[in-house]
A and B are shown apart, each in its own frame.
Chain A
Amino acid sequence: MIRIKVKSKLYPATEDALPRRVINDFRLALKDNEFVCLVGPSGCGKTTLLNLVAGLDDDFDGEIRFDEREENHKIGYVFQNPRLLPWRTVRENIELALNEPAPSGAIDNLLEVMQLADFQHVYPERLSLGMSRRVAIIRAFAINPDLLLMDEPFVSLDSATAQQVRDLLIGLWQQRPHTVLFVTHDLREAIALADRIVFLTSAPMQTLNEVVVPFSRNERQNQQLIEQFRHDLLQTDGKPVT
């Protein structure tokens, strides 16, 4: 179980802006191997929240608790842009994230599943955006994280590519279940991926409400079903469908 509690996160005043409260009393508990999507308007503070959880920003009032592994928890972060080291090959990028040697064949297997085995010795600048995103996903899975953070990892991909990478992600996640916190502003994407969707208000960010997605992984192949569920959610303003 991972408990996120952010009482408040302020951006301090700068020369030309007043102090700004980005998050106000946000709480979320993630069960083991649960896939949770955060859905909220642009600029509501989703990325800020992920950065707090990742430990990249510790200037906030609140706490992030990893029940089992308080000290040595590992976090895999798939950023909005892939953030690969351009001077290292695909494989080197993945290996560098591992702080202990991976069991033999583990990286090969990941590359295989994400259909990148033929590209492991290629430099990132020669990859398409979709491929770079897949490498970033592999890197995050490779460290076998206690929590996987994903910040709109499919944004600015064309819909066919986004769908393909989404399917690959779910395939990988089913093969190696992890607790995932996934940020998106695309409700269809959230329904297709999440066990639970958390709707957020605009800044200062708060939980508007939470919805459990009642479909099995197989049922989610059915676009009509997703479309209907989305329609219902929009009708009820994000309130749980009964």
Chain B
Amino acid sequence: MLRKQSLAWLSIAVFLSLWHGFALYLESRNLPGPLMVLQVFWEQCRSGELPYHLGVTLLRLIVSFAIAMFIGCAIGIVLGRNRQVNAFFDNWLVIFLNIPALVTMILCYVWFGLTEVAAIVAVVINKIPNVVVTVREGARALNRDLLEMARCYRFGKAKTLQHVVLPQLFPYFIGATRSGLALIWKIILVVELLGRSNGMGYQLHLFFQLFDVASILAYTFAFVAVMQITEWLVLKPLDNRAQRWRR
């Protein structure tokens, strides 16, 4: 365990040293070293700029993630459990899966104006099909024996969902959550870049126009850090708790 951890730290140290080495060698504004990025990060934090824009983006992420997960899971369960409904909607799903994210964004802004709602809807529409596909696989693979048991002992719908269905879908939820957070934050930045006047996407666009690579990397670092902390503090413990019955 200890060895595994020290190996992880070592790999990060090697990565940072390589980066530092290249930056020193190139001496270019376009590749600032890790120390420089850290300094910019600190300044941006102190001025309050970075926390504000990061906060705005995180808020959009949380709202759109929650909506997409809720709707996506509900649709996924229905499609996974009902062959006819699935046969009907399967093509729709393929269409929505393959519409480029940029297209939904532009359409949402055209149809709903450059508003917060349009931004959220664009992200949600992009994310829902992925959740549906993942959860549908889980719903298809539900254990029939246990469902029969629940029927025989008259669990009823709510109890069956809570104690028989959802625990079986949990690994799929966690999978959809992990891939979902990564996907949504990539989409959200583009949404912000195209039609919002705050948030990380907007800021990155600004830095791009100024060729301010150090700030771009500082913002990236902030977001990656937030995601990693979410993994450590929320997803991992949740996962461990839900899997504690396993041998």
| Residues in chain A within 8 A of chain B (CB atoms) | 51, 54-56, 74-77, 79, 81, 83, 85-88, 96-97, 99, 123-126, 139, 143
Contact = CB atoms under 8 A, between A and B. Distances in A.
B18 to A, nearest CB: 44
A85 B145 CA distance: 10
A83 B145 contact: yes
- Of A51, A83, A88, A125, the most chain B CB neighbours within 10 A belong to A83
A77 B146 contact: no
Contacts of A99: 153-154, 156
A14 B247 CA distance: 39
Given A85-B164, A123-B245, A54 B152 contact: yes
Name the residue in A55, A79, A85, A125 with the highest tally of chain B Cβ atoms < 10 Å from its Cβ: A85
A88 B153 contact: no
A143 B247 contact: no
7 contacts: A54-B152, A74-B154, A77-B153, A79-B148, A85-B163, A96-B155, A99-B153
A56 B152 contact: yes
B159 A96 contact: yes
B167 A87 contact: yes
A81 B143 CA distance: 13
B236 interface: no
- Tell me the interface secondary structure of chain B in the complex: helix
B153 A143 contact: yes
B146 to A, nearest CB: 6
Contacts of A79: 145, 148-149
Contacts, number: 49
A33 B149 CA distance: 23
A97 B145 contact: no
A132 to B, nearest CB: 13
A1 to B, nearest CB: 21
Interface in B227-247: 242, 244-247
Residue in A54, A96, A123 with the greatest tally of chain B CB atoms within 10 Å? A96
B62 to A, nearest CB: 28
Interface string B132-159: 0000000000000110110111111001
Contacts of A124: 245
B245 A81 contact: no
A97 B167 contact: no
B156 to A, nearest CB: 8
Given A75-B152, A85-B146, A96 B245 contact: no
Contact of B247 (A74, A75, A83, A126): A126
Nearest to B242: A87
A125 B246 contact: yes
